[in-house]
Amino acid sequence: MRFDLMRRATQWILLAILSMGVQATAIARGPVVQALVGATLIDGTGRPPIEDASLVIADGRITAIGRRPDVKVPSGAHVVDLHGKYLMPGMLDANVHLFFGVTIDALIRYDDRYEDVIAEAAQVALKNGVTTVFDTWGPRQELTRVRGQIAAGQRQGSRIFLGGNIIGLTGPTSTDFYNYRTLLGKAEADRIDARWEQGAGPELLWLTPDNVRERIRAYIRSGHVDFLKYASSGHAQEQFIAFSEAAQKAIVDEGHRAGLTVQAHSTSPESLRLEIEAGADLLQHCDATGLAEMPEPTLTLIAEHKIPCAALFETQKHLAWVLAQDGEQSDGYRSAHIKHENDRRLVAAGAMLLMTTDAGVLPADIKEVPKFSAAVSGDDLPIEMGQGHFRWLEAASELGMKPMDALEAATINTARAYHQSAEVGSLEVGKRADVLVLSADPLADPDNYRRIERVMKDGQFVDIQSLPNPRVLTKP
């Protein structure tokens, strides 16, 4: 069993300091001290909203917060009057793929522009109020570089934390994903996949737990991942188990030794159970249990121990489309329906839920690509970067989640799950000033999350109209 991660706190603080060092250079462009005054402020911690609030920011961080009469604005501060507006923390998406790499066209055409594609996606996220993203499967080197460029203020974009590969799975060309191997030279396909796999790909599934451990150690050493994600189940073959329980424990242990949170990808009841047994810190799409509902004991375990559970909520409208498209007896609809029921049960049980979308920026013409057109033509598609999180919040409301709980799922919960709550996820003194200015109350109607007027990240208002820039996949 798992659940006391406190022992790793020191390591985390150290890591946070180090990463702050990297990002510090980014914070010197706007006014040094600002005060946002007059708005209704929802701080993301679950506390009641503060009406007519003041939020003081210096050097990119929050220095004071409270009701306006109670907060002294430093002289010389740039004061922004936001009467009638609503402030909330920038959102966090627990699961994105900044380079989705889904079409063969995108994989090849942008072979030397992966960084631009990644930055574009980070900007689409930022523009829509997601100030921090956790990339859980992507080309590691390029993600690492864009993470650094954004942290250093060289590129605009959502703050990136990255896991690299889903350990044990492949890059995009295999049958596990998009099946392009018949059309590419082996060396070429291997080269593409290696950008994802980075030595932690499917070859690990053949190894003993001891050997898996060695490979994980090398994987962590060789790169700069912020967390680990491994495959508890297969990807295309959802009902199969990827790593044995012993191997999963080795992976979790190695991640923890390195001070990293470890999450798992599961798509069946047993793979979900195994990853909990193995001590995973975060259950990625915990609600996806395929053709069988989540077993009650597993649900209870998740709920009682508050294991962070990143659930892929879908709106009724999306479900209705799946039903119309695939039919009631189809595996596609059945699993979507079961997932929806799992979501309802998780909400009712008071699980610690994280907003997660699996989203990426899809090529502009993907609906015209016969291979994908059926899959991406649905209403309220959850995986559309920049829109998926709004749909998640609508679905949360439909599922009976309380407005404040949903807001926490979109903010502080994910920060906590990834051990980043000292930095982001709420509006509290000392934290980074990632702030959304909305024109309507998100607690009143989930649709109001879309009414973003301004986005502040690290204390700077972002020129969201100009994003993304340059356009790569979003170019019409």
Residues that bind its own copies (CB under 8 A): 103-105, 108-109, 111, 180-188, 202-203, 205-209, 234, 237, 239-247, 268-270, 273-274, 289-292, 295, 329, 363, 365-366, 368-371
Q: 78 or 371: whose CB is closer to its own copies?
A: 371
Q: Closer CB to its own copies, residue 12 or residue 99?
A: 99
Nearest distance, CB of residue 364 and its own copies, angstroms: 8
Separation CA 70–CA 49 (nearest Å)? 15
Contact 262, 284 (CB under 8 A): no
Q: How far apart are the first and last CA of the chain?
A: 50
Q: At what angle do helices 140-151 and 114-127 cross, to 10 degrees?
A: 50
> Where is 61: in which H helix or E strand?
strand 61-67
Who contacts 94 (Cβ-Cβ below 8 Å, separation ≥6)? 134, 282, 284, 308, 310, 354, 355, 356, 414, 417, 418
**Of residues 188 and 405, the one with the C-beta less far from its own copies:** 188
The CB-of-268 to its own copies minimum distance in angstroms stands at: 6
Q: State the minimum distance, in angstroms, from the CB of residue 104 to its own copies.
A: 5
Least distance to its own copies from the beta carbon of 330, Å? 9
CB nearer its own copies, residue 319 or residue 473 = 473
Q: Least distance (Å) from its own copies to the CB of residue 352?
A: 23
Q: Which string of DSSP letters, residue by residue, matches 211-239?
A: HHHHHHHHHHHHS--SEEEEESB-SSSTT
Residue closer to its own copies (CB basis): 69 or 185: 185
445's tokens: 């109607």
Percent helix, strand, coil in the chain (nearest 5)? 40, 20, 40
- Helix 331-349 and helix 296-304, axial crossing angle in degrees, nearest 10: 40
User: Shortest distance, CB of residue 276 to its own copies, whole angstroms?
Assistant: 12
For residues 185 and 430, which CB has a smaller minimum distance to its own copies in the complex? 185
- C-beta of 40 vs 335, nearer to its own copies: 335
Minimum distance of its own copies from residue 358's CB (angstroms): 21
Q: At closest approach, how far in Å is the CB of 271 from its own copies?
A: 8
Give the nearer residue to its own copies in terms of CB position, either 247 or 311. Answer: 247
> Distance between CA 222 and CA 243 in Å, rounded?
22
Tell me: cis bond preceding 49? Omega within 30 of 0 counts.
no
Smallest distance from the beta carbon of 34 to its own copies, in angstroms? Answer: 44
The answer to whether the beta carbons of residues 330 and 68 sit under 8 Å apart is: no
Min separation Cβ 108 and its own copies, Å: 4
Among positive and negative, which fits the CA dihedral 339, 342, 347, 352? Answer: negative
Name which of 160, 156, 143, 158 is nearest 470 in CA terms.
156
Nearer to its own copies, 117 or 422 (CB): 117
Residue 372 or residue 461: which is nearer to its own copies going by CB? 372
Of 359, 366, 367, the closest CA to residue 384 belongs to 359
Q: Please count the CA atoms within 13 angstroms of the CA of 424 that sit on its side-chain side.
A: 32
What's the token pair of residue 387? 């829109």
Could you give the 3-state DSSP secondary structure of residue 353? strand
Measured CA to CA, the distance from residue 176 to residue 179 in angstroms comes to 7
